[in-house]
């Protein structure tokens, strides 16, 4: 048993490390070193099987590895999007910030435009940048504004007359 395992250790290492690198690649942006390395390692493992046992066992192994990777990645993506305790801690603040009831506290708040509002754009309110929309008018950049209406996530502003 141990001699059989030692004889097939390079194949096992190639397939397991390749699969692990492919899973890591799913959670990293872009297509980079882990993905390419995973593909190469899985290919090397399948090639070794092909040389030792023939084409049919190599094809079967490749199909099993692909199926297992699909199942594992699907499961891990589902778990990541469902969120666990860490998601409840980190996402609660963001959810509360964008709920319509909490946005009502912004009514009457004064700030400055950071982009031209035609009629939508970006404004700064005490260091917080928000997407805003005017009542229909055009407002230049770096003008004083005031929030006059909040409807859900829609923040309506009006230009303030400088005093």
Q: Where are the beta strands (DSSP E) in the chain?
A: 110-113, 120-125, 128-134, 144-151, 154-159
Spatial separation of the C-alpha atoms in residues 23 and 72, rounded to whole Å:
8
**Higher pLDDT pick, 83 / 54:** 54
pLDDT digits (tens, 9 = 90+) for 1-39: 778 878 888 999 999 999 999 988 888 877 788 889 999
Average pLDDT over every residue of 95-106: 62
pLDDT digits (tens, 9 = 90+) for 120-161: 999 999 888 999 999 888 999 999 999 999 988 899 999 998
CATH superfamily of 100-159: Nucleic acid-binding proteins (2.40.50.140)
pTM, 2 dp: 0.49
Spatial separation of the C-alpha atoms in residues 45 and 15, rounded to whole Å:
6
């Amino acid at each position: 048993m141990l001699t059989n395992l030692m004889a097939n250790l390079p194949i096992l290492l190639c397939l397991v490390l390749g699969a692990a690198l492919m899973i890591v690649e799913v959670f990293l942006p872009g297509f980079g070193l882990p993905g390419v390395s995973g593909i190469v390692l899985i290919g090397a493992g399948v090639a070794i099987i092909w040389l030792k046992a023939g084409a049919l066992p190599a094809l079967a192994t490749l199909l099993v590895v692909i199926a297992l990777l699909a199942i594992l990645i699907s499961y891990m993506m589902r778990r990541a999007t469902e969120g666990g305790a860490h998601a409840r801690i980190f996402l609660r603040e963001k959810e509360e910030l964008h709920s319509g009831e909490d946005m009502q506290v912004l009514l009457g708040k004064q700030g400055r435009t950071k982009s031209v509002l035609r009629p939508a754009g970006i404004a700064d309110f005490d260091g917080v940048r928000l997407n805003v929309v005017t009542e229909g008018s055009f407002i230049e950049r770096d003008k004083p504004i005031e929030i006059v209406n909040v409807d859900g996530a829609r923040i309506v502003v009006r230009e303030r007359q400088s005093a």
